[in-house]
Amino acid sequence: MSSTSFFIIFLSFTFVVLLQEVASVDYGAALTKSILYFEAQRSGKLPPSQRVQWRADSALRDGSDVHADLVGGYYDAGDNVKFGFPMAFTITMLAWSVIEFEKQLEAKKELSNALDAVKWGTDYLIKANAQGSLLYAQVGDGDADHACWERPEDMTTPRISYAVDGGHPGSDLAGETSAAFSAAAIAFNKSNPTYSTQLLTHAKLLFEFAKSSQGKYSDSIPIIGKFYKSSDFKDELSWAAAWLHRAMNDQSAIEYLRDEETDRGDVRSSFSWDDKYAGAQVLVAKLILEGYLDESDETWAEYMTNAEAFICNCLGKGDNNIQRTPGGLLWFQPWNNLQYTTAAIFLVQAYSDYYANIQSDFTGCSEPVTTGDMYNFVQSQLDYILGVNPKNMSYMVGFGSNYPQKVHHRGSSIVSIKKDNSQVTCQGGIDNWLKKDAPNPNVLDGAIVGGPDKFDAYLDDRNNYQQAEPATANTAPLVGVLARHAAP
Q: Which residues contact 26 (CB under 8 A, 6 or more apart)?
A: none
In angstroms, rounded to a whole number, what is the distance separating the alpha carbons of residues 14 and 327? 14
Contact 151, 430 (CB under 8 A): no
Question: What value, to the nearest 5°, has the Cα angle with vertex 268 and ends 267 and 272?
Answer: 155
| Catalytic annotation, pick one of 67, 146, 245, 408 | 408
Phi, psi of 133 (to 5 degrees): -90, 10
What is the end-to-end Cα distance of the chain in Å, rounded? 43
DSSP state of 78: S
Alpha carbon separation from 432 to 165, 231, 422, 469 (Å, rounded): 42, 38, 13, 19
Phi, psi of 213 (to 5 degrees): -125, 85
Identify residue 206 by its one-letter amino acid code: L
How buried is 372 (Cβ within 10 angstroms: 0-12 exposed, 13-18 middle, 19+ buried)?
exposed
In angstroms, rounded to a whole number, what is the distance separating the alpha carbons of residues 100 and 483? 10
Q: Buried (b) or exposed (e) across 95-127, using 16+ Cβ within 10 A? A: bbbbbbbbebbeebebbebbbebbbbbbebbbb
In angstroms, rounded to a whole number, what is the distance separating the alpha carbons of residues 319 and 77? 34
Beta strands in 35-84 (DSSP E): 82-83
DSSP state of 64: G
Quote the distance between the C-alpha of residue 374 and its chain's center: 20
In angstroms, rounded to a whole number, what is the distance separating the alpha carbons of residues 180 and 434? 34
Q: Which helix (DSSP H) or strand (DSSP E) does residue 93 occupy?
A: helix 84-107
In angstroms, rounded to a whole number, what is the distance separating the alpha carbons of residues 40 and 52? 6
In angstroms, rounded to a whole number, what is the distance separating the alpha carbons of residues 228 and 76? 11
408 catalytic? Reply is yes
Instruction: Pinpoint the alpha helices (H) of 263-337.
Output: 277-289, 298-315
In angstroms, rounded to a whole number, what is the distance separating the alpha carbons of residues 213 and 119? 28
In angstroms, rounded to a whole number, what is the distance separating the alpha carbons of residues 339 and 123? 24
3-class secondary structure, 66: helix
What amino acid positions are annotated as catalytic residues? Answer: 408
